[in-house]
Amino acid sequence: MARILYDGGTEIVGSIGGLTFQRNHAGTIVKSRAKILKTLSLKKSVIQTDFIGIQSLWYQLNYDQKTVWNNFSLLHQKENMWGQTKTLTGFNWFCMLNYNRYSLGSPYITTPPIYEIPEVIPNYNLTLDANTIILKYISGDATPNTAIMLFSSSKTKSTSGPARKTLRYTLPLMITPVIDFDLTLYWESTHGIVYNSISGFANFNIQILLVPINKNSFISASGTSIVKGLLLP
């Protein structure tokens, strides 16, 4: 918003209509206001577009189909990836399950599945060096009925771990456990940047979140968070 000052004349200070008014010793300067653009990786843009498409499928269901989903929501609560128990609507269940199915390469559904929760996934660690991000298996049994949706953050200086909003869906792990799995190219595709330490800053943290998902119902559960830092001389 601009202010108009009257003091032996007229002076405009501030911004209006996309223009910024400034004054210095040379007089009044008018210039276009800077615009901050939020960039998206190609992968994130595709995911957002497809999620909007999933939402539109809900509105193609008839009344009876929506009622079935709404009744399903009354019977079951949902544990989100952060371990919080939530009460969802039929619309929420429909979108969440179909998004999970889409993410794991399965066709959409119009009726709710049989309620099945995921198995406990194996234990993993994350190792970083100057050029690679490796997911390392530590212990735990195979989970034939459970896949993993892996989320990752970009590089951050935060010592307490990246904020939740920075996590992006990166890839599915359909067979578990995986041994010494190289995430580097998937991470680069997700975040639209080159991983190696020359790109950006050398000392940073990266977080991954491993979210178990039942292969039959596509219901997910609380995820396992791993934060790892890289400190280079």
Per DSSP bridges, beta strands 224-230 and 27-32 are unpaired
Q: How many domains does the chain have?
A: 3
Report d(CA 89, CA 102) in Å as an integer: 20
47 and 22 together in one domain: no
The residue segments making up the domain with residue 23 are 2-32
20 and 46 together in one domain: no
- Residue 58 within any structural domain of the chain: yes
Residue 75 has pLDDT above 80, yes or no: yes
Q: Are 204 and 157 in contact (CB under 8 A)?
A: yes
pLDDT recorded at residue 14:
55
Residue 135 has pLDDT above 90, yes or no: yes
128 and 171 together in one domain: yes
- Residue 194 within any structural domain of the chain: yes
- Residue 37 within any structural domain of the chain: no
CATH of the domain at 168: 2.60.40
Any bridge partners for residue 147, and if so which? 213
Give the residue, 159 or 125, on which the prediction is more confident.
125
pLDDT recorded at residue 172:
94
- Residue 115 within any structural domain of the chain: no
- Residue 110 within any structural domain of the chain: no
How high is the mean pLDDT of the chain? 81
- Residue 109 within any structural domain of the chain: no
71 and 142 together in one domain: no
7 and 97 together in one domain: no
pLDDT recorded at residue 164:
72
Residue 214 has pLDDT above 60, yes or no: yes
137 and 181 together in one domain: yes
Q: What is the mean pLDDT of residues 125-141?
A: 92
pLDDT recorded at residue 195:
87
- Residue 150 within any structural domain of the chain: yes
- Residue 112 within any structural domain of the chain: no
Question: Coil, strand, or helix at residue 87?
Answer: coil
Tell me how many degrees the CA angle 91-96-102 measures, rounded to the nearest 5. Answer: 125
pLDDT recorded at residue 181:
95
55 and 147 together in one domain: no
129 and 221 together in one domain: yes
Residue 215 has pLDDT above 50, yes or no: yes
140 and 223 together in one domain: yes
CA torsion 173-174-176-181 (nearest 10°) is -40
Q: Are 116 and 217 in contact (CB under 8 A)?
A: yes
